Structure 1
Amino acid sequence: MSHTVTVRWSTRLPDSVFGRATPGGTLELNQRWLDDLVAGSEGDFPEGRQHRTLRRELLATLVHEVAHLYDRGRYWSNEQRTLLRQCRSRFRTQGKAGLPGECLGQTERRFTLSDAPRFLDLAGWPQQVGRRGAREAMNRQTYRSPDDYERFSPAEYLAVNLEYFLLDPQYHCRRPALHAYFAAHFGWAPDVDTACPTTIPYLRAGLDTRQPALGWLDPERIYAVHYLLAEPNEQWVSRWGHSMLRLVICAPGRPLGPDCLLDLDYHLVLSFRAFVDDLQLSSWDGLIGNYPSRLFILPLQQVIDEYTQIELRGLSSVPLRLDEQARYQLAQQAAALHWSYDGTYYFISNNCAVETLKLLRTGSAERAMQDLDSLTPRGLLRLLASRGLADMEPLQDRQAALRQGYYFDSYEERYRHMFSVLRTQLQIPAEQMEDWFNTDAQIRRDWFAEADTRTTAALLVLEEAIRRRQALEIQQDLKLRLLSPSAPPELAAAAHDMEGILAGSSFLSRPGELLREGYGLPQPEEARRFTDLADARHQALRTNADQLEQRLLAMIDPHQRQQLDATSDNLQLLGEQLRQLHGESGGVQLP
């Protein structure tokens, strides 16, 4: 159906306004730019406008205002108008006001594009979890925007994005999900000459010098998506577990299939976390929303080590029943949020489970996901399983799950097994593992000479655990001393420097703040510049952190430092002893 929009030049518009639509449906353009447009001159075209040139800005204004006319339903058919009147009449009969949004909801939102559920999901107004269809009040996709005005309302978001959909040949690469949505809605899209990169950039959230700052995700190589649940522990912030998503990515050259579960080095984890930029983790701040909630994309092995070795929590990896298209869309949405999203963490109402559920809803677009509601990680898993969306079968046999990569056990279980080896083989006096951990390092060393190959291996594993625990205890002790109001000047200065390092590391969780040019997903040239910027920031952070570490080492309690150094010596001795015994025995099986 075609309609005519009247366009005229107007002398009544303020200089800063390029154009607007009148209540009667006429589109007015600012006449002050007419002579420059005809002459092909930029005149005194203001700097900082999003579309860079006068002609593009006027074209964008036309598209923007026509989009509003289209969205407001000015060109609805008579059938559509009749349905809307009937809907309003029903609402009035029921004693309701009959607002257009409510009526459109009753008629499957057939008329306004900016009110369509799928559009709202992609635009940044997802459903609130626990509110049965209510939408988020604020758009939190604050970075990598072509025009901040788009977040004013869904209607403005639609108008701004249609400008770029029609005028920017890179739009299909920068915002691929929205481009696909508009193309499907209109049954048409502008011709483009360039192909999009097949991989999506993401920032590695760490300071590992062995890896470049920028990683690349290939959605085509995602074999499966798992719901990754970290088991709860006794810590206040961890007592309900932690929700994440695991992308099972196949190694290059391997066809999509179950064998991709073996490619652990390529698997990634999508994890919403509260970014804490101070030394004090406050439970009250988590409750009232003083911590940002951001999406980290992490290597699976890093997540496994963090939870199983440091936090001593098991990880369950539960396959989700998502088809290829849903997996692809989920990866695109995750990448978009990684670069743009800066939410607010609330321990009760916007925690990791809530954020993960919103990502599953908006990313997969699966109808069965839309009415799920859960505020806790374990509750969400139970709900996914009860709806047939999560496959719990691979976890029924714990040993098989361990072998096949569906479960990663807490190292605490391994430590207790190793301790039982010591109790049996060496007859050590410690009755509990914690007693052995608290034994003086020199006394532990006295038992080394009596150990065979198997027992030496057990001693080595436990010494590693002891050193890790000592380091955590030292960190906690230093933190308490740094936060003390009576801290000496050298500690106060160190605390100030540490807070500066934490603040300076915010870009690791919010990469969009570092790359101001462009919008949406970074394109190749922007990615190269981003890599240079991130590498420089990485190097500065590493230098500052190394300098601070040397200062803090001098502030460690002398007894703690002595025990830490002695445990390091123990590890070296046990490593040498194990290599010697293993060579002499011809390869005895280790525990």
Structure 2
Amino acid sequence: MAADEQADRLYAAIMQVDALQPDARFDQVEQLVAGDAPHDRAAYARELAGFLSVADYPCRHPAYAYYFAQRYGSSVSYGACSDSVPFFLFDRKQGGRLVHIRPDHVSSIHVMFSSGGDSLASRFGHVSLRLIVCPDGPVTAERCERNLFEHVVLGYMARVDGLQINPLKGMVGGYAARLQGMSFMEAYRANTLLDDRNLYSVPLKMDHAQVEQIVRELSEVHWRYRGDYRFFTNNCATLLQDALAQMVAGYASDDELARGYLRPDTFFAALRHSPLVDARWLDKPAEAEARGYYFPSNRPYYRQARELIAAASQDSPAATLDQYASTPAKLRLQNILSDVRLKEAFAKDAHVLDAQILLEEYTLMQLQSMLTQRTIELLSRHDVVAGLSDLAADLGPAPEREFFTQCYLEPLAALHRQLPRADGIPDDAFLDAHYRQAVDCNDIGERLKVSGLVAARMQQIEPGFIALRDIGRQIDLTLANISMLKGLM
């Protein structure tokens, strides 16, 4: 008998047995995994039938499989499953990328808090989960914790369907909530380098089997969950608390955490004093930073560099850090070269020259962020997207068309589309249909050929593209400034 037919018969049989009813725990699992999906007996019967008859059910639905195993006294085995589970990591520059994480290569799971920002959506901070992914080779805690470039951050976020957040919509509902992924380095860059925010990271106390189970469940939630995001009542903090209450043993019985917190900052303040996490190092910032539990904002270092340059310079009054970064690159260089006192300071103290280079690197980072943001704003317009889509038909050789489609159009679409929703952890066929990449987007030769054509088409369809070229020119001149200053070392 085919698996689907067997599942259908079991479903019909389960619906006839009054004793087989969903309980409160099933509703909680359903809410965790599917979000706003209806909670009824049919859903329960459908999942139970799959658990009893489909061989790879635990591979696709680990949260449900674990629930049924706990309720009916059986066990869950992932021996027949793939060694890894997929996540799609958002990337503001390239749209995003698909990664596969081996649950047995995740040494621990942290709760990560970024301190408050200036916007309405970030005023009280943001909380997320950080998967400590180990490198290949011998597994040690130190090697895993230092493997920052492979760490993955997962947090509940609003799917904003525009360039500007609508405050009213954010408060009363209308934005879709999802468990979004990004690399740790993307989160680090966005918070501590581009914004003036600190990152705090504390490990949850779990054994390795619990970590592996939760990583699988997070993949299921990542691909299936859709909810309603509200800034003050159904946000990153409340949704994460609900998830932790279902996934982490002992969370629901912690009286302090069971109170529930609407704000990310108050939730993290309560969590760091809970026995469920190891937060002892946060009281010692220097040691916490050395261990990878605390990542302070880099803004103070840039301000110190600006103050050092101001003290060594003949200019008065000194420009602020933001004023310096907004000054055209040529004028910045002219000011440096014409300042006799500053050049003397360069010769006497290498730290002054280092500070000047740091300011140029800060400016470069801000310019690159500005270029990325304005490019996204421009390319979000339907007429611009349509114009670029037409370009694909005009490209001659097939390799150029394929390169343009996979390295330009598809990343652009990824910035604006919903993550495809799968019924559980997706299989290879689903992923291949949505995330194929048969070309090397880092091929310099192809990129140079195609980028020239894209630039020419952009100038035809959008005059605002010239402003992007101006920012690009400032980036080139800033790079030249840095090169010149390093030549003085």
Correspondence for 1:511: 420
SS in 2 for 1:386: coil
Question: 1:154-177 deviations in whole A, cap 9, x for unaligned?
Answer: 421221012212222221221123
Give 2:298's match in structure 1, choosing from 411, 415, 425: 411
Secondary structure of 1:391 counterpart: coil
| Distance in structure 1 (CA, Å) of the matches to 2:190 and 2:109 | 20
Task: Measure the CA separation in 1 of the matches of 2:149 and 2:211.
Answer: 19
1:441-495 Cα deviation digits (max 9, x unpaired): 3332124442344333322322233344456667888999999xxxxxxx99449
Alignment match, 1:565: 473
Amino acid in the other structure paired with 1:125: Q
2:90–2:96 Cα contact (<8 Å) kept: no
Q: What amino acid is the match of 2:61?
A: R
1:180-199 residue pairs with structure 2 within 5 A? Answer: 180-188=66-74, 195-199=80-84
Partner of 2:274: 387
After TM superposition, give the deviation of residue 213 of structure 1 in Å.
Answer: 3.5
Q: Within 5 Å, give how 1:238-387 maps onto structure 2.
A: 238-366=122-250, 367-368=252-253, 371-387=258-274
Partner amino acid for 1:510? L
Deviation at 1:201, TM superposition (A): 1.4
What is the one-letter code of the residue matched to 1:401? A
Q: Does 1:581 align with 2:468?
A: no
Q: Structure 1 residues 535 and 346, CA, compared in 2 at 3 Å: closer, same or farther?
A: farther
Preserved contact between residue 467 and residue 564 of structure 1 (Cα < 8 Å): no
Q: Provide, for residues 397-456 of structure 1, a one-character-per-residue CA deviation record: whole Å limited to 9, x for no partner.
A: 222222221111222112101112212333443153334334443332124442344333
Cα distance in 2 between the residues matched to 1:567 and 1:170: 51
Contact 1:474 1:556 in 2 (8 A): no
With over 3 angstroms needed to count, the CA separation of the structure-2 counterparts of 1:301 and 1:547, relative to structure 1, is same
**CA separation in 1, counterparts of 2:285 and 2:110?**
17
Q: 2:353 aligns with which of 448, 456, 465?
A: 456
Give distance in 2, aligned partners of 1:337 and 1:399: 35
What secondary structure sits across from 2:488 in the alignment?
Answer: helix
**What residue is the counterpart of 1:172 in the other structure?**
58
> Which residue is 1:99 aligned to?
none
The secondary structure found in structure 2 opposite 1:205 is strand
Aligned equivalent of 2:43: 157
Q: Is the 8 A contact 2:22 2:44 kept in 1?
A: yes
Distance in 2 between the 1:357 and 1:403 partners?
Answer: 28
1:179 alignment partner AA: A
Change over 3 Å in CA distance of 1:563–1:216 after alignment to 2? closer
Whole-angstrom distance in 1 between the partners of 2:270 and 2:482: 48
Q: Is the CA contact 2:228–2:234 (under 8 Å) kept in the aligned structure 1?
A: yes
Contact 1:316 1:406 in 2 (8 A): yes
| Aligned partner of 2:116 among 227, 232, 255 | 232
Asked if structure 2 preserves the Cα contact closer than 8 Å seen for 1:244 and 1:272, the reply is yes
- Separation in 1 of the partners of 2:3 and 2:323? 73
What runs of 5+ residues in structure 1 fail to find an aligned partner? 1-52, 74-111, 127-138, 143-150, 484-490, 514-518, 583-591
- TM-score by length of structure 1 reads 0.66
**Do the aligned residues in 1 keep the contact of 2:158 with 2:176 (CA within 8 Å)?**
yes
Alpha-carbon distance change, 508 to 258 in structure 1, aligned in 2, over 3 angstroms: farther
> Could you say what the CA RMSD is over the residues aligned between the two structures, in angstroms?
4.0
Amino acid at match of 1:575: S
TM-score of the pair, normalised by structure 2: 0.78
1:547, CA displacement in angstroms? 3.9
Corresponding residue to 2:427 among 523, 538, 556? 523
Instruction: Write out per-residue CA displacement over residues 295-348 of structure 1, whole angstroms, 9 at most, x where no aligned residue.
Output: 122211111011112223221112222333332232122101111112121111
- Opposite residue 320 of structure 1, the aligned amino acid is L
**CA pair 378-190 structure 1, distance change in 2 beyond 3 A:** closer
2:320 to 414, 432, 449: 432
Give how far 1:561 is off: 6.3
SS at match of 1:420: helix
Taking structure 1 as reference, are residues 66 and 334 closer, same or farther at Cα in structure 2, changes over 3 Å only? same
Q: SS in structure 1 opposite 2:31?
A: coil
Aligned-pair CA distance for 1:293:
1.1
Amino acid at match of 2:60: R
Cα contact 1:287–1:346 (8 A) shared by 2: yes
CA distance in 2, matches of 1:234, 1:502: 29
The question of whether the paired residues in 2 share the 8 Å contact of 1:268 and 1:300 is answered with yes
C-alpha offsets along residues 339-360 of structure 1, whole Å, 9 cap, x if unaligned? 1112121111111111211221
SS at match of 2:253: helix
Deviation at 1:288, TM superposition (A): 2.0
- Secondary structure of the 1:227 match is strand
Change (3 A) 1:187 1:457: same
1:281 and 1:441 map into 2 onto residues whose CA distance is 32
Q: Name the larger-Rg structure.
A: 1
Q: How many residues align?
A: 448
Which of the pair has the greater relative contact order for Cα pairs under 8 Å at 6+ separation? Answer: 2
**1:262-294 alpha-carbon deviations (Å, 9 max, x no partner):** 111221111211122223321122112221111
What is the aligned counterpart of 2:329 among 438, 441, 451? Answer: 441
1:459-538 map, 5 Å: 459-470=356-367, 493-494=383-384, 504-505=413-414, 510-512=419-421, 519-524=423-428, 526-532=430-436
Q: For residues 54-97 of structure 1, what are the alpha-carbon distances to aligned partners after superposition, in whole Å with 9 as ceiling and x for unaligned?
A: x7666434422332344x33xxxxxxxxxxxxxxxxxxxxxxxx
The answer (yes or no) to whether the contact 2:92–2:372 under 8 Å persists in 1 is: no
